[in-house]
Each structure stands twice: as C-alpha cells, then as structure tokens.
Amino acid sequence: MADHLLFPGGVHPKDGKSISFSMPIQSAPLLEEYTIPLSQHIGTPAQPIVKRGQRVLKGQKIAEATDNISAHIHAPTSGEITSVSKHPITGEMLAMTNCIGPAGHMVSSLVITSDGEDKEGFTLMPIEEWQSIDKKILLERIKEAGIVGMGGAAFPTHVKLNPPQGKRPDTLIINGAECEPFLTADHRLMLEEPEKIIEGILMMKYILGAKTVYIGIERNKPDAIKTMKKHLREGIEVRELRVLYPQGSEKQLIYALTKRKVRMGTLPMEVNCIVQNIGTAFAVFEAIVMGKPLFERITTITGEPVVRPGNWRLRIGTSIGDALKMAGGVKDPEKVGKILIGGPMMGLAQFSLDTPIMKSGSGVTLLNKDEIVQYTSVPCIRCGRCVDVCPMNLMPSTMSIQAMKERFDLLEEWHVMDCLECGCCSYVCPSQRPLVQLFRLGKSHVLKKRQRELEKLKAKG
C-alpha cells in the first residue's frame, strides 16, 4: 500500500539506527555550566534581557525575539549569568560572550552557571481547556515559549502556524520520517509519549484550522507506527512511508503524502500544506498544557565509538563534551574520526567539544576512522547517477562543473538555490566529487550577488 508514498530520487544509506533505537529516553544530570547561543533559529538573533551576575530561574526568559521571525530563549536551569565581554566601542560590560557555534563560526551567547537547586520559574500559566480558547492566545503562547522547528531548520513555529492572509492551509503534515541515518530521537519520542504528541498535533490542527492531518512515518519503525495508530484521534491519519532518504525533507514529504508539488522558490503554504516535526508537536503540548518553555529536547547520542549510546532529554546549551560524558565517553579516543551535530548525511562536523547543542540539535553522531572515507575526487565520468538520485530533479553533474569553472551565473539559471544539500549526489558519486560543497559555494556566491543587487536598488531609491 505504501509503495507509492515516495518521491523521485533519493538514496538508502546504511541507517545505523539499531545502535540507539532500543534505548529509552533518559533525563540528563544537571551540569555546572550551560552555554546558550543567541541565534538558535532562522532569522535575527535574540537580544539578551539579563545582566551579568543576575540570578535566573529555570524557564525564565533570558533573551527576547527582536522581530517577527525570531524566537525567545529561556534559561535551562536556575543559576547565575556568568559570561562577560566588553562592548567594543562603549566599553560597557555585557552579559554576552562568544562561543563556537555548530557551523564553526563564533556566535554570541550567554553562559549560565548552575546553582544546583534547579528552581523552576515558569511564568506561563498552564492552559487545560485549550479547545475553548482563542487561537491567537495559543499562538502567542507558542511564541512566548520560544518554540522553533525541531527537525533541524529551526524556523520559528509561531510564524509557520500563522499563515499569511488569504492562505488557508487544509493539510497539516507531521514529519515522523526521521530519514537521517543514526538518529532515533523522534522514534523514541513517538514510542514513549504518543498521547502528548497527538494532543500537540490536535492543538496545531485547531490553530491552523486544517481538515486533514497526516503523520508520515517510515516503515523501518513498525513499533512507532503501531503505537501512534493505537492513540489516533479523529481527523488524524498515520501514513507509512517507504524507507528512503531524504523522505523527511519538507517538499519531498508533501509530494509523497499528497502528490502536491511545491514550485521552486515558494513555500509549502502555496500548496496549502504545513509540515511540522514530531518534536515540535511535543513541545507545543508542553508549552500549552504545562506552561513549560522550550529549554530541553530529545537528542540522540550515538555512533560506534560511544560507550553507552542512547537518547537523552538534554537541556539547551549542553556542550558536546558533557553530552558524551553522559553517554559514558568513547571507547577508544584514538579511533574517533569525526564528531557531527546531526546525522551523517546532513550533520555539521565539529572540531571542538565545547560546541553547545541548540534547539535544533537532534543528535550527536560519532564516527570511527574506518567509517570515514578520505578520498581524492577525480573528474566526472558522466554516469548520471547523481541526476537519478537528486530529489529536487537537478543536474548535479553539470552544475558541479559550472561551479568549478566559477560560472555562478549559470549555476543560478540551473536552480542551484533549490538544492537541499541533502548529499544524495555526493553519496552515490563514483568519482567522489565534492558536489554538495560546490553547490554550497555556488549558493553563497548567488546570495552575495543578490545582496549586491538589492543594495544597488536601494541606493537608486
């Protein structure tokens, strides 16, 4: 039945989920220090509203969204703001400091030193009877709780759930595909908290006014499908998806479930669909019914080198090093070849154990040296495998040559901006060409060019 529920292209890499899928979600021990980056979402970074040395409570808002596409940030525990830096011009002491972000750049952040009491300070009142409450209040609550998309892109949820005027999305899609190899956070959450997830989905359905809700789950998680089906309510449907990467990508998931095609350069809103993640549904439930802001998430710590791989309820701001300590460290530090935030396909390689896990950090994956291939790329042999597997129907072979010749104008014409950076093309390439990296380079050039054009337009008036 489910064989047609897929999209063109895609690959099936070694999934590695057996390492951690049977491990129940554990709560993480309280740490001494949390480093909280101010830009954990797409959009403008949040502005800190606490001073250096100020005592904060768990769940207290410590940074505020500056404009509409932004999200609040809350303290993961009670303690003191200890980070400090000097304003470059005024010399004023600020509460911010710099830390290494997952992308490797320095990002401004707040540091909280825990006082060990873990005192709660939720300012949001629990809402029990949410069915009888105005949608706007619920939306405001989601905004106040600082909820962002937990799948990876971290787009602020209150913006996504508030479609622009004239758009009436009729389908809400819940992404339980978790197509990324090694990660099992959503899988565990579906097994352990199905009722809360369904409740959260119903809330989102109510806010959107959607008619149908699909929960798309890949067929390699039969127990999750069974559990979710058991707790289904009216208007919600569980759809089994074929196991294929990148099934969990927004546009691919919409096509697989509804056969609607999102045109390039547009949002899923155009085809009346909204996609939300399992983790987001759970966070929405907690925010509304318990009044709990988003300061912890389920994160998979996995990989062959980890002593006790598993799924943890980690507070935002836990560094990779601390997370690995919880998992018992690594078996042989000599053998570890790569540390990634996220999974092996789309994850970001890290060079420091101090990098904090953010709202979008669905996993920490460690790979052994023998699992990593250090290759030298050779010229394209025109086999066309990358064209076959590209889920966006692009032509990576030709585009990579354009990027190498620095023809970024041609790349733009060939729709490089539609590339998901899913890595299917690099995965299958027999010449081992760094395709995704070339497209990323092309994208950055195209964005720069567009920026320049915008500035020219502005200068002209």
Partner 1 sequence: MIEAVLFMASTGMILSTVIALANRFLAVETDPRIEAVEEMLPGANCGGCGYSGCPAFAKAIIEESVEPGLCPVSSGDEAQRIASYTGMEPVFSEPYVALVKCCGDNTRSPERALYNGVNDCNAAINVAGATKSCQHGCLGLGSCSRACPFNAIEIDEELRIAIVHPNLCVGCGKCIESCPRDMITMVPKSAPIHILCNSPEKAPIQRKLCTRGCIGCQRCARQAPESIKMVNFLATIDYDNPPHDLSLVDTCPVDRIHTSLGIDYIPAPKKKKGAIKSLECHKVLGVAPQASEAEINKAFADKIVHYDISLIIKMDEEEQKQAIMESEKISQAYKDCLAFDPSAHTVKEGQ
By CB under 8 A, residue 434 contacts partner 1: yes
**Options 6-14, 245-253, 275-283, 343-351: segment touching partner 1 (CB under 8 A):** 343-351
Sheet holding 73-74, edge to edge: 47-48, 61-64, 73-74
Name the minimum Å distance from CB 117 to partner 1. 32
Find how far residue 411's CA is from the centre of its chain: 27
Report the alpha-carbon distance of residue 249 to residue 416 in Å, rounded: 17
Q: Which of residues 66-95 bind partner 1 (CB under 8 A)?
A: 88
If the CB atoms of residues 298 and 438 are measured against partner 1, the closer one turns out to be: 438
Residue choice 444, 447, 451, 455 for contact with partner 1 (CB under 8 A): 444
Sorted by sequence, the CB contacts under 8 Å of residue 155 that are 6+ apart come out as 41, 42, 43, 148, 149
Q: How many angstroms separate the first and last alpha carbons of the chain?
A: 57
Using N-to-C axis directions, what is the helix angle for 222-230 and 194-208, rounded to 10°? 70
By CB under 8 A, residue 351 contacts partner 1: yes
By CB under 8 A, residue 459 contacts partner 1: no
Sheet holding 171-176, edge to edge: 236-241, 212-218, 171-176, 273-277
Residue choice 20, 40, 276, 350 for contact with partner 1 (CB under 8 A): 350
If the CB atoms of residues 54 and 352 are measured against partner 1, the closer one turns out to be: 352
Report the alpha-carbon distance of residue 224 to residue 191 in Å, rounded: 5
By CB under 8 A, residue 407 contacts partner 1: no
**8 Å CB contact between 146 and 74:** yes
**Options 97-105, 198-206, 217-225, 358-366: segment touching partner 1 (CB under 8 A):** 97-105
Report the alpha-carbon distance of residue 158 to residue 135 in Å, rounded: 11
Name the minimum Å distance from CB 459 to partner 1. 18
If the CB atoms of residues 252 and 355 are measured against partner 1, the closer one turns out to be: 355
Residue choice 374, 459, 460, 461 for contact with partner 1 (CB under 8 A): 374
3-state secondary structure of 210: coil
By CB under 8 A, residue 231 contacts partner 1: no
Q: Which amino acid is at 308?
A: R
Torsion region of 13: left, alpha or beta (phi above 0 gives left; psi -120 to 50 gives alpha): beta
Q: Which of residues 101-120 bind partner 1 (CB under 8 A)?
A: 103-106
If the CB atoms of residues 60 and 109 are measured against partner 1, the closer one turns out to be: 109
Report the alpha-carbon distance of residue 387 to residue 397 in Å, rounded: 7
Name the minimum Å distance from CB 416 to partner 1. 13
By CB under 8 A, residue 153 contacts partner 1: no
By CB under 8 A, residue 249 contacts partner 1: no
**Kind and range of the H or E run holding 275:** strand 273-277
By CB under 8 A, residue 375 contacts partner 1: yes
Interface residues with partner 1 (CB under 8 A)? Answer: 88, 103-106, 348-352, 374-375, 434, 437-438, 440-441, 444-445
